[in-house]
Amino acid sequence: MSAKEFLLRRPEAASIISLFGIVAFYVLFGGVNLSNLFGAASWVNFAANLGIVAIPLGLLMISGELDISIGAMIPAGSMTVAILSGYYELPIVVGMLGAIGLGLIVGLVNGILTVRTSVPSLIITLGTLVAMQGVVLAGAKLLTGAASVPLTAPDWAKTLFGGLVGGSYQTIVLWWVAFAIVFGFVVHRTRYGNWLFAMGGDRVSARNAGIPVDRMTILLFMVSSVSAAFVGMCGAIQFNSAQVSGGMGYIFNAIVSLVVGGTLLTGGFGSVAGIFFGTLTFAIVSQGIYFTQIDRNWSSLIIGVTLLVAVAMNGWFRNLAMSYAPRKKA
């Protein structure tokens, strides 16, 4: 197989082509200056916050499941650290552990309900989404009497989780890259990645082959919830406050990024690199338009067209990958 054939059969092929296509479109029709676009931190910061949520969600989708409760876990994580360490003035470590612990609990509940019942994970996580929204709002009002809580983090926490690198890039960008490297290694270089794709292909066959499907499913849901809570926690530390609203937009944005990145909604196909480039593509589409001469009202149309084109290309690339057969030696 040639290098060209290999790349075209990869799940991330469509996202990389889409990324170059969007940049070319903005240059040709939007008059964008590439130095201004790639030197801007706004879309990179946007991609980093979205990417940390998208990677675990993408792994869940590859396994054949879905978690939309992330929309509530982001404000839940931010409010938890703000209430514990801001309102009650406990050490910041306590607030951070509380946010991560809440993510573990919600993810555990999602996972157990998914493997112990026949209810689709979409419906289960829809229930936890609504439930956690109510818990966060009611808890904030009951404990603090307000829907917004200030937080002043110590310097070391600010540097690690809410600081700036290079003057304008949020520290979470480094966390995003670290997430991508670690998850990329686990998914594509260890047996756990093989288990993940097997689960997405056929869960019954995967279970019969000895793969711990239930434990893997629960673990994936826990990682997804913790990642969302982590993003919320970093946001509270970054902006010195937390609010009960926000986070719902991450659901749509993450799913679009995953689809653009070559992850199948039905499971069994995708890659961490594809999720990474899909997130970059979505960030440039949604944020890069502000660097062009194009009317901002067209951004939703551009996102929709990009999604449709990416879906079409993903289907073609997947069929190309599935149809490959090594040539027989003469």
**CA-based nearest residue to 45, from 302, 279, 278, 301:** 279
pLDDT average per 10 residues of sequence, the chain (330 residues): 54 75 82 75 91 96 95 96 95 97 97 95 96 94 92 94 89 96 94 94 93 96 97 95 90 90 85 92 84 77 77 66 53
**Is 329 contained in some domain?**
no
**CA-based nearest residue to 178, from 251, 227, 247:** 227
**Is 306 contained in some domain?**
yes
Q: Which domain holds residue 137?
A: 3-321
pLDDT of residue 9: 60
Residues 82 and 287: their CA atoms lie apart, in Å, by 28
pLDDT of residue 330: 46
pLDDT of residue 303: 75
**164 membership: H or E segment, kind and range:** strand 164-165
Amino acid identity of residue 186, one-letter, is V
**Is 278 contained in some domain?**
yes
Residues 159 and 45: their CA atoms lie apart, in Å, by 16
pLDDT of residue 327: 52
**Is 326 contained in some domain?**
no
pTM of the model: 0.90
**Is 131 exposed, middle or buried (CB count within 10 Å of its CB: 0-12, 13-18, 19+)?**
middle
Q: What angle do CA 148, 179, 284 make, to 5 degrees?
A: 75
Would you state the structure tokens that stand for residue 147, as one six-digit string?
A: 């829907």
Three-state DSSP string of 189-201: HCHHHHHHHHHHH
**Is 244 contained in some domain?**
yes
What's the total number of domains in the chain? 1
**Is 330 contained in some domain?**
no
Would you state the structure tokens that stand for residue 237, as one six-digit string?
A: 């530390």
**73 membership: H or E segment, kind and range:** helix 70-82
User: Which CATH number does the domain housing residue 279 bear?
Assistant: 1.10.3470
